[in-house]
């Protein structure tokens, strides 16, 4: 969605003869605004703190219902106002006003698209009407994308339920029946001691396999029935982080990564702690969060472009590494911390896919 919105901003600014733009989206999970896409921001707005989801005129207008598709207008940017008052033209690139275009789907507020140029001119009625139409189209596109994602999650949940039911009705019952038959055979008075020992080992194997099947069924039925799938939870965490800090977070999380509920909870907490460290210490402008399945393992990585571990340690700043390491060990994984080329830090958790807790 970010890529689509960035292309939209480039096309719209070129179409109306403007230069810069940015999009705020209203997170349906937290009701917070976050910066979803930017295009040629002036230096003042490139500082993450300027693009947090804090109050501004345009987002407040969307919440209050004053900013509607029928009244697209030009307003003074409240975020640029401090730099404008200081006459810091080098920081504002001469920007001061922007057209605020509401993004809606029917009566549902989706977000706001702002477009501006260094030498503002009065937009014509046709241009304002065009921006209004574009806003309606973009709002509908975002809503369709969200609905498609929701339907995909529902389909995966239904498929997990179906697989769990099939496993219970076939594999688990068959293993239980085999174990009962073996137990009956082991009690045969005519069976030799050697045969009884072999039957005993077979019984233990059948019981162990049945226990594995029960855990798999429980994971399929309960891992995602409460709260959110891990991929979705990480995306929501990233949106909340962007709203609070203005730091852009890109999430690449495979929805096919399904783990026991406790394991997913610990991985989520590790990602949460890593983002907290980035907010407190890293001075980063962007973060990359990935969740992928590799050969024999699942990997969660949180990479930032901040000042790096060594510089932060010299300043006496903590990183909560012990807590993340302990959480990793608790689920049978390992945690690694590496310095990125060009600055920044990557926290990586590697977890064997066979882990079951």
Question: Which pLDDT does position 226 carry in this prediction?
Answer: 41
Residue 286: strand pairing partners:
248
Q: Do domains 2-149 and 230-352 have the same CATH topology?
A: no
Q: Do the Cβ atoms of 26 and 62 come closer than 8 Å?
A: yes
pLDDT of residue 179: 87
As a whole number of angstroms, the distance between CA 261 and CA 254 comes to: 16
Q: Are 95 and 117 in contact (CB under 8 A)?
A: yes
pLDDT at 58: 93
Burial 156-185 (b: 16+ CB within 10 A, else e): eeeebeeebeebbeebbeebeebbeebeee
Sheet containing 334-339, strands listed edge to edge, beginning at the edge strand earlier in sequence? 248-253, 286-294, 297-304, 345-352, 334-339
List average pLDDT for each run of 10 residues in the chain, which is 357 residues long.
94 92 93 95 95 92 87 87 94 94 93 90 85 94 90 77 85 88 87 87 87 75 59 92 95 85 91 92 94 90 85 53 91 92 89 65
| Of residues 105, 101, 109, the one with CA closest to residue 127 | 101
Rounded CA separation 259/256 (Å) = 10
Regarding the domain with residue range 2-149, which homologous superfamily does it belong to in the CATH classification? GAF domain (3.30.450.40)
Q: What is the pLDDT of residue 227?
A: 57
How many other C-beta atoms are found inside a 10 Å radius of the C-beta of residue 47? 12
- Residues 304 and 286 sit within 8 Å (Cβ to Cβ): yes
Residue 299 contacts residue 264 (beta carbons within 8 Å): no
For the chain, what are the domain ranges?
Answer: 2-149, 152-222, 230-352
> How distant, in Å, are the alpha carbons of 245, 261, 277, 319, 323 from that of 271?
16, 15, 10, 13, 11
Short-list 52, 11, 17, 2, CA closest to 247: 52
Stated pTM of the model: 0.77
Give the CATH number of domain 230-352: 3.30.565.10
Cα angle at 341 between 340 and 343, to 5 degrees? 65
Provide the pLDDT for residue 244.
92
């Amino acid at each position: 969605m970010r890529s689509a919105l960035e292309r939209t901003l480039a096309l719209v600014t070129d179409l109306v003869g403007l230069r810069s733009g940015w999009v705020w989206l209203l997170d349906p999970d937290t009701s917070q605004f976050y910066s979803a896409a930017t295009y040629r921001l002036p230096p003042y707005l490139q500082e993450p703190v300027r693009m947090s989801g804090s109050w501004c005129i345009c987002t407040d207008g969307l919440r209050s219902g004053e900013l509607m598709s029928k009244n697209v207008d030009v307003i003074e940017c409240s975020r640029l106002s401090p730099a404008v008052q200081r006459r810091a033209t080098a920081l504002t690139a001469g920007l001061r006003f922007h057209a605020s275009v509401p993004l809606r789907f029917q009566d549902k507020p989706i977000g706001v698209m702002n477009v501006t140029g260094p030498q503002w001119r009065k937009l014509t009625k046709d241009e304002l009407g065009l921006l209004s139409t574009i806003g309606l189209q973009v709002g509908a596109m975002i809503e369709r994308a969200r609905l498609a994602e929701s339907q995909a999650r529902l389909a995966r949940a239904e498929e997990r339920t179906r697989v769990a039911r099939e496993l219970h009705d076939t594999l688990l019952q068959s293993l239980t029946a085999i174990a009962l038959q073996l137990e009956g055979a082991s009690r045969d008075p005519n069976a030799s001691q050697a045969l009884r020992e072999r039957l005993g080992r077979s019984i233990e194997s059948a019981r162990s396999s049945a226990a594995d099947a029960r855990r798999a069924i429980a994971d399929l039925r309960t891992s995602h029935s409460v709260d959110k799938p891990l991929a979705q939870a990480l995306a929501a965490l990233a949106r909340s982080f962007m709203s609070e800090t203005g730091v852009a977070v890109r999430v690449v999380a495979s929805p096919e990564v399904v783990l026991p509920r406790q394991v997913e909870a610990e991985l989520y907490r590790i990602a949460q702690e890593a983002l907290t460290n980035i907010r407190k210490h890293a001075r980063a402008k962007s973060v990359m969060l990935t969740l992928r399945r590799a050969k024999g393992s699942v990997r969660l990585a949180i990479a930032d472009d901040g000042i790096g571990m060594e510089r932060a340690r010299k300043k006496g700043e903590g990183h909560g590494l012990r807590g993340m390491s302990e959480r990793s060990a608790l689920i049978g994984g390992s945690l690694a911390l590496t310095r990125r080329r060009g600055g920044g830090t990557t926290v990586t958790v590697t977890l064997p896919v066979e882990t079951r807790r």
